[in-house]
């Protein structure tokens, strides 16, 4: 792939960079998207039964076991070259904020430090009543209980729930004050995350899309790099490093 020279020049001059990643970059590591994961024992379930507060209230055991199965499935998954390149890119700029819709911790495992998790993290659990993260609990019950007596639940954002206010505020601030915004592996259809690159555009930033296919965002961006994150990002990093040498 040919990386436009103008894009490298803009990145070379940038001080503040913001990134939004979606399910595409994790899919390259072998993690299926939510609906793609509804196979095997779970093939006949509706997402509304497994990923809503109402579904958890109706059948907490079923929902807990679904997420326990998902956690188990990603234990051996490794970050891919796209994750690794983003972790290295972070060191190239004064301010680098990585906003992700993914819940798998692969960015942190690759070495990224400034990660904003819009949809939570499947490796954490929280009290369904107090909403606080709980790390010490008995594994016997399904689901286990918080010391307060309420059920524990995955620390992820379910359908119908608001995004964490602090995470959303950080993401919006990064989008509105960056020089360059990278939208990577996301369909640009899930709001409010899909609004972030548009906020960056409105604020005068250079917006770059990296995705194998065109999306609703493509026609708005200055640079659309069509390809897999694991292929495009290492090449982008190499070009930027060479230009800075």
- Measured in whole angstroms, how far is the alpha carbon of residue 133 from the centre of its chain? 19
Which of 83, 107, 119, 220 does the annotation list as catalytic?
119
Counting Cα atoms < 13 Å in the Cβ hemisphere of 215 gives 24
- Measured in whole angstroms, how far is the alpha carbon of residue 110 from the centre of its chain? 13
- Measured in whole angstroms, how far is the alpha carbon of residue 245 from the centre of its chain? 31
Catalytic residue at 119? yes
Q: Which residue matches tokens 């990643």? A: 21
Distances (CA, A) of 27 to 23, 33, 80, 176, 237: 6, 7, 10, 28, 21
SS3 state of residue 69: helix
Compute the CA torsion angle 198, 201, 203, 208 (nearest 10 deg). 110
User: Which run of H or of E encompasses 145?
Assistant: none
List residues with catalytic annotation. 119
């Amino acid at each position: 792939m040919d990386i436009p020279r103008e894009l490298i020049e803009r990145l070379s001059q940038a001080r503040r960079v913001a990134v939004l990643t979606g399910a595409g970059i994790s899919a390259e590591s072998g993690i299926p998207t939510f609906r793609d994961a509804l196979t095997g024992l779970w093939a006949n379930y509706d997402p509304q039964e497994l990923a809503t507060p109402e579904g958890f209230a109706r059948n907490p055991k079923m929902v807990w076991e679904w997420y326990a199965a998902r956690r188990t499935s990603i234990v051996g998954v490794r970050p891919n070259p796209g994750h690794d390149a983003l972790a290295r890119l972070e060191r190239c700029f004064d301010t680098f904020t990585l906003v992700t819709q993914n819940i798998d911790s692969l960015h942190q495992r690759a070495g990224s430090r400034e990660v904003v998790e819009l949809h939570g993290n499947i490796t954490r659990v929280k009290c369904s009543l107090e909403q606080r993260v709980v790390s010490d609990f008995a594994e016997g019950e399904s689901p286990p209980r918080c010391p307060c007596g309420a059920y524990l639940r995955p620390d992820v954002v379910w359908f119908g729930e608001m995004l964490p206010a602090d995470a959303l505020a950080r993401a919006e601030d990064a989008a509105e004050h960056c020089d360059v915004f990278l939208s990577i592996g996301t369909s640009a259809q899930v709001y409010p995350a899909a609004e972030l690159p548009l906020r960056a555009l409105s604020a005068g930033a250079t917006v770059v899309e990296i995705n194998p296919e065109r999306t609703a965002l493509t026609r708005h961006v200055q640079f659309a790099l069509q390809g897999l994150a694991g292929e495009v990002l290492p090449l982008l990093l190499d070009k930027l490093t060479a230009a800075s040498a």
